Amino acid sequence: MEITQIRHFVRIAETGSYIKAADLLDIGQSTLSRQVRALEVELRASLFYRHGRGVLLTEAGKKFLEYARGVLHLMDSATIALRDSEAAYSGQLVIGMAPSIGRACIPMLLPKLGELYPRAAISVVEGLSGALYDAVLLGQMDMALVYNPAASPNIKITPIVTEPLYLIGPEPVGADHECVPLSTLAELPLILPHGNHSVRVAVESAAARLGLGVNVTLQVDASYSTMELVAQGMGYSIMPRFMERGARLPELSWQMITEPRLDTTMCMVLSGQQPGNPLVAAAAEVVRASLSELLVR
């Protein structure tokens, strides 16, 4: 298996056409066909199937595409690492962030990274913590800022801050406007992310230990859309207080969840398998320090 074959496979997958890929790569369609066939023989799986307008990935092709992009990203990183010290801080830098983190820190962080590393092509991708974690694991991202990542020998985890979770609503629940017992949540209509989100897992697990369930009336993965729905009286939600740092947020009540207190930890994750990349290492320290500064304000 050769890197050229992998690059050409990815280009065909992205264009959905041997003809378009051949034009972009300036090579013959027959060459592309032979390369894909060689990959399929080696992988013992069909990667594409044809239709009237081009080709589509098979299930095996979709799975291989994830790893192929990771391999190409790793090779690009290796090329950067072998250049001289000045050029080492150029190339592509891909950072993933949960939306709740991104809205608060992207306006502060990207100008700083752009100034420090003007030769780097910096990309920021927002997504749920689980998806970002997997992207780092597969080598599709250099680093990600996520909540409560699972331990893995293939991932380096650096905790940034641990915060309590809060019940947010259009108005406080109960007499204590600062705190609310976890048992009270069972009586409320909740707007929470889908089932694998770290906050929802923490809430449902803690409630189950008390023999309680939670009433999830809406499932919304967009944090700030959730806050707008809460402000409209559609229900309540549960978030870390870090969310309140975003600009132009609706006026909401924030009550710390107690009995028991529930915490969430923001972490930086990096691949533990990739060789050292000066740009990634330097940028990771800038991101960590910038977040620490932001959180103590």
Q: Round the average pLDDT of the chain to a whole number and report it.
A: 85
Q: How confident is the model at residue 237 (pLDDT cuts 50, 70, 90)?
A: very high
Q: How confident is the model at residue 184 (pLDDT cuts 50, 70, 90)?
A: very high
Q: How confident is the model at residue 275 (pLDDT cuts 50, 70, 90)?
A: low
The pLDDT of residue 297: 53
Res 85 pLDDT > 60:
no
Q: How large is the average pLDDT for residues 227-234? A: 92
The pLDDT of residue 166: 94
Q: Are residues 169 and 118 in the same domain?
A: no
Q: Please name every residue paired with 191 in a beta bridge, in sequence order, or none if there are none.
A: 218
The pLDDT of residue 180: 94
Q: Are residues 139 and 182 in the same domain?
A: no
The pLDDT of residue 28: 87
Q: CA geometry: angle at 256 spanning 251 and 262, to 5°?
A: 130
Q: Are residues 37 and 178 in the same domain?
A: no
Nearest to 280 by CA among 80, 107, 137, 99: 80
- 76 versus 13: the higher-pLDDT residue is 13
Chain centroid to CA 7 = 24
The pLDDT of residue 224: 80
**Integer Cα distance of 148 and 280 in angstroms:** 22
Buried b (16+ CB within 10 A) or exposed e, 202-218: bbbebbeeeeeebebee
Domain extent at residue 288: 79-160+265-295
Counting the structural domains of the chain, the total is 3
Q: How confident is the model at residue 171 (pLDDT cuts 50, 70, 90)?
A: very high
Q: Are residues 35 and 113 in the same domain?
A: no
**Integer Cα distance of 73 and 224 in angstroms:** 31
Is the Cβ–Cβ distance between 103 and 110 less than 8 Å?
no
**Integer Cα distance of 73 and 230 in angstroms:** 40
Res 189 pLDDT > 90:
yes
Chain centroid to CA 296 = 24
Instruction: Name the H helices within 82-237.
Output: 99-116, 129-137, 198-209, 223-231
Q: Are residues 107 and 138 in the same domain?
A: yes
Res 60 pLDDT > 80:
yes
Whichever domain contains 185, its CATH number is: 3.40.190.10
The pLDDT of residue 182: 93
Task: Specify burial of residue 199 (Cβ count, 10 A radius: 0-12, 13-18, 19+).
Answer: buried
